[in-house]
Copies of this chain bind each other. A is one copy, B any other.
């Protein structure tokens, strides 16, 4: 069994989805490497570099057939990243094809092309999940367009907002991630064929054409130039995922805080069978929300390693590159888990509009202070009004209306009692509703104009 708790039988579900595990699982990875070698062989056969029969045999080789103990043993023996695999493959290939597998390429050609494949697979999932999440958030925003609640700044209830505004701000942030994913796609999804040092000397004049055909075979764009130590694509993709995880953690943080019983405005759906605490049976913990924060921390940390890796030296730099081996899958798996968890959280989110109204009422006297300030500002100037209200609230507690009356502001003819009452009519959420409408309109327009599937939009096929 593995040593990483993130990969354990008991807890793996917290740190990856089955769908993405199926991308990164060792057998899946090896199959993907075999597919890449098959694509290479096919391209080489078409160019006459290796016999067609060999290419067919190589394309027929399955990772499942590999003797993993032998592969691993040879990997350790040779201290080489893929020589164990090559020797393993040679054992399962027919004699005639053995010399033609992995022909003229290096580890990075396989693993970097795999990174291209990985970004394609993961990006496709992220695109789908972001758009599904956005759809749920847009529904929430529409449903709660007019659900008033206390805004909270610095952890303190303030002037009113709507829950729809909150959901719309989440949706708007998610939309920007969708756009970033759209914009970055063609920069990321490239293959690698660089050979020993990126100059492709091994293949002679056929090299450029081989790279073009190889990339087409594996469904990636031709980068036009080797990128052995150009790691900006990896860093960029990883940082975007970390940002996606950050957005999900922001949603989680909100649920976590508003699910406090003392506030009680939001709650996670409680799955049947779930037990929050075995020592405190009454508990119903916002564990999904909480875990989104955990995932974002780790994703951020791994993404940082990828940006650090951009400072790579010469034509191959194992220091940076091997760190990506650990960090890129990590950020993909963690963000994938966050997206799945986030979708589930948003879909099942319980919004208690009654509690929102009650809290607004409870803190309402004070909460109306922005409106009272606006009203009073129109009479005595904004900064004077602010100063006056500040004193009133400081000394008299939560009721600016009573404070103003008691201080004779009303009597002095500055404002009538009716004025103060009218200013205190809560909540002032019309503009919030307009913002929700704006976000809904532009999100739906954008969604209608774009493909449901990420890769269906690629310009390079």
CA distance A230 to B243 in the complex (A): 11
Residues of B within 8 A of A103 (CB): 377, 382
Of the residues B165, B249, B276, B333, contact of A311 by C-beta under 8 Å:
B249
Residues of B within 8 A of A243 (CB): 232, 235-236, 239, 307, 310
Task: Tell me whether B282 and A197 are in contact (CB under 8 A).
Answer: no
Total contacting residues, chain A, CB less than 8 A:
198
Interface positions of A from 293 to 346, Cβ below 8 Å from B: 293-294, 296-298, 300-305, 307-320, 322-323, 325-327, 329-330, 333
CB<8 Å pairs between A and B, sample of 19: A4-B329, A6-B325, A15-B326, A78-B273, A78-B275, A79-B275, A80-B278, A105-B279, A151-B197, A153-B197, A155-B314, A158-B315, A159-B196, A169-B230, A199-B431, A224-B435, A254-B314, A260-B263, A301-B305
Residues of B within 8 A of A257 (CB): 155, 313-314
Question: Interface code A173-198, partner B: CB below 8 Å = 1, 0 otherwise?
Answer: 10011011001100100000001111
Residues of B within 8 A of A26 (CB): 1-3, 5, 8-10
Chain B CB within 8 A of A413 CB: no
Give the residue name and chain of the B residue nearest to A154 (CB): B285
Residues of B within 8 A of A353 (CB): none
Give the residue name and chain of the B residue nearest to A318 (CB): B290
Chain B CB within 8 A of A217 CB: no
Q: How many copies make up the complex?
A: 4
Residues of B within 8 A of A105 (CB): 279
Instruction: With A84-B10, A315-B152 as known contacts, state yes or no: A204 contacts B428, CB within 8 Å.
Output: yes
Give the dominant DSSP class at A's interface: helix
Residues of B within 8 A of A439 (CB): 224-225
Task: Tell me whether B10 and A429 are in contact (CB under 8 A).
Answer: no
Task: Tell me whether A156 and B260 are in contact (CB under 8 A).
Answer: yes
Residues of B within 8 A of A438 (CB): 224-225
CA distance A191 to B71 in the complex (A): 42
Chain B CB within 8 A of A75 CB: yes
Task: Tell me whether B176 and A279 are in contact (CB under 8 A).
Answer: no
Interface positions of A from 245 to 283, Cβ below 8 Å from B: 246-247, 249-250, 253-254, 256-257, 259-263, 271, 273-283
Question: Interface code A373-405, partner B: CB below 8 Å = 1, 0 otherwise?
Answer: 110010011111010011011000010100000
Closest CB of chain B to A114's CB: distance in Å? Answer: 11
Chain B CB within 8 A of A16 CB: yes
